[in-house]
Amino acid sequence: MTALSKIDMMKATRLTREGRLKEAMAVLRGSFSSVPRDDAEGVAPESPAARRSPILDMVPPSPGNGGSWTSTDTHAAGRPWDISQSRIPEALRGFLARVGQPGSARGCDGMVEPAVARGPAPLPDGAQFEEHSFANESGRRAYKLYVPSGYNGQALPLVIMLHGCTQSPDDFAAGTRMNDLAEEQTFLVAYPAQAQSANVSKCWNWFRTVDQRRDQGEPSLIAGITRQIMRDFSVRSECVYVAGLSAGGAAAAIMGSTYPDLYAAIGVHSGLACGAASDIPSAFAAMRQGGSIPGRTHRRSGTSVPTIVFHGDGDTTVHPVNGDQVIAHSKTAADLRTSVSRGETAGGISYTRTVQSDQSGRPLLEQWVLHGVGHAWSGGNAAGSYTEPRGPDASREMMRFFLQHRATAASLG
């Protein structure tokens, strides 16, 4: 009999999904109490990649945390729920990863996740959505690039989309519907894929200082992907943008801070400011209560790019104060004019939109606070994970904001 067949799978699954992790672990460990740790059938030693790749988000929902994916009390103690750090045999790590992944239950803050895996949506005639890769001294990353059917070699805007933890380019494309928008408005959109070897939950490592610096780590890979597309396709170099969700939103903020000459504007959805954390403990602290607002040391030449932020005020995974801090970090002028408007979508989601413009009336900062919304892409499609379909269309609003801005100097080297 294999080791996994001895486990009360239904009970362990139920406890894990309810967030009762200690009890679930007791069930799992009890089933293995008589099995040697590293040499039992189907059990492999912990891999070096698992040891160095912490899970930053997300912990499954439970009644105790309001039905939200969030960090648990063990985070406050400085030890996140990280199955790789618990030295659980490989087979059990795989089981726990599966029950916490999109598709196994309602997910992030109770928002809609796909119940079953779906194939990619059919492409319009003449459109392409293909995988490519880029490599440099920091490593290699795959990415998917959507080329709309209206592309005939003319120069187009380019949007880089950075997914959240546990997501993939296909999942993120489905959830944000950015490919549909690219087809409608005729622009290129790319989705870099975080490697699981770099982070076990496929989170961008926004909390590591090496991944917050120009020409180093993951920023160099994302910028390299951007420049590779600019070389291989006809791109309007002054109209290149980057956006992301959660860990991807934090990575987008980093790209705006470190490559203001490359990106004309950025979009941060449910993310954190560049430099909000520098290690694992400060990452969880920033997610719970916001980070210390970083100074200009993370900016190249003290410059910043126009920024649009979406954040739900019901987000218990990344505290909504982080949205304020992204705006504060992006603000370089004190004399901006502020206008505030409020509204409600047909789906019943109310919001407050704050726009800060320069003296000529050009909007430089735009912040959407989504009332009652958790950690999910606003206005997204339920075909993707971590979406709130009832909210304002974040993808469309980001593109509206982006296309108002042009970079003054684009780096193509």
Same domain, yes or no, for 73 and 139? no
The structure tokens listed for 127 are 């459109």
83, 100, 117 - which closes a domain: 100
The confidence score (pLDDT) of residue 335 equals 85
Mean pLDDT is lowest, of 6-15, 188-197, 233-242, 398-407, for 6-15
27 or 234, greater pLDDT? 234
Tokens 């959407």 label which residue? 368
CB 27 within 8 A of CB 11: yes
- Domain membership of residue 117 (yes or no) is no
Kindly report, residue by residue over 259-269, the tens digit of the pLDDT: 999 999 999 99
- Domain membership of residue 231 (yes or no) is yes
Mean pLDDT is lowest, of 84-93, 292-301, 303-312, for 84-93
Phi, psi angles (nearest 5°) of residue 329 = -70, -30
- Domain membership of residue 106 (yes or no) is no
47, 80, 100 - which closes a domain: 100
Measured between alpha carbons, how far is 258 from 275 in angstroms, rounded to an integer? 11
Same domain, yes or no, for 88 and 135? no
Kindly report, residue by residue over 367-381, the tens digit of the pLDDT: 999 999 999 999 999
100, 119, 141 - which closes a domain: 100
* Rounded percentage of the chain residues whose pLDDT exceeds 70: 67
Q: Average pLDDT in the 207-213 region?
A: 95
Same domain, yes or no, for 152 and 42? no
- Domain membership of residue 115 (yes or no) is no
The CATH number linked to 220 is 3.40.50.1820
Same domain, yes or no, for 76 and 146? no
The confidence score (pLDDT) of residue 18 equals 52
Same domain, yes or no, for 83 and 144? no
- Domain membership of residue 240 (yes or no) is yes
Residue 60 pLDDT greater than 50, yes or no: no
Same domain, yes or no, for 182 and 273? yes
The structure tokens listed for 351 are 């919001």
Same domain, yes or no, for 172 and 234? yes
- Determine the residue type at 22: K
Confidence of residue 363 (pLDDT cuts 50, 70, 90): very high
Among 247, 128, 153, 152, residue whose Cα is nearest residue 199: 247
- Determine the residue type at 21: L
Same domain, yes or no, for 369 and 292? yes
Confidence of residue 83 (pLDDT cuts 50, 70, 90): very low
What is the residue range of 183's domain?
A: 128-402
The confidence score (pLDDT) of residue 333 equals 75
Confidence of residue 35 (pLDDT cuts 50, 70, 90): very low
31 or 305, greater pLDDT? 305
Split into its structural domains, the chain has a count of 2
Tokens 């005020």 label which residue? 313
CA-to-CA separations, 157 to 176, 259, 296, 306, in angstroms, rounded: 18, 17, 28, 16
The confidence score (pLDDT) of residue 254 equals 97
Mean pLDDT is lowest, of 72-86, 162-176, 183-197, 370-384, for 72-86
Residue 222 pLDDT greater than 50, yes or no: yes
Q: Average pLDDT in the 143-169 region?
A: 97
Same domain, yes or no, for 335 and 377? yes
The confidence score (pLDDT) of residue 226 equals 98
CB 7 within 8 A of CB 28: yes
The confidence score (pLDDT) of residue 22 equals 56
Residue 57 pLDDT greater than 90, yes or no: no
Residue 89 sits at the vertex; the CA angle it makes with 75 and 5, to the nearest 5 degrees, is 115
Same domain, yes or no, for 96 and 141? no
- Domain membership of residue 196 (yes or no) is yes
Measured between alpha carbons, how far is 22 from 382 in angstroms, rounded to an integer? 31
Identify any residues that bridge with 352 across adjacent strands, giving them in sequence order.
342, 369
The confidence score (pLDDT) of residue 332 equals 82
Confidence of residue 122 (pLDDT cuts 50, 70, 90): confident
Measured between alpha carbons, how far is 296 from 246 in angstroms, rounded to an integer? 22
9 or 399, greater pLDDT? 399
Same domain, yes or no, for 80 and 153? no
109 or 207, greater pLDDT? 207
- pTM for this prediction: 0.75
Measured between alpha carbons, how far is 371 from 345 in angstroms, rounded to an integer? 11
Mean pLDDT is lowest, of 165-169, 282-286, 309-313, 357-361, for 357-361
- Domain membership of residue 279 (yes or no) is yes
- Domain membership of residue 39 (yes or no) is yes
Same domain, yes or no, for 151 and 73? no
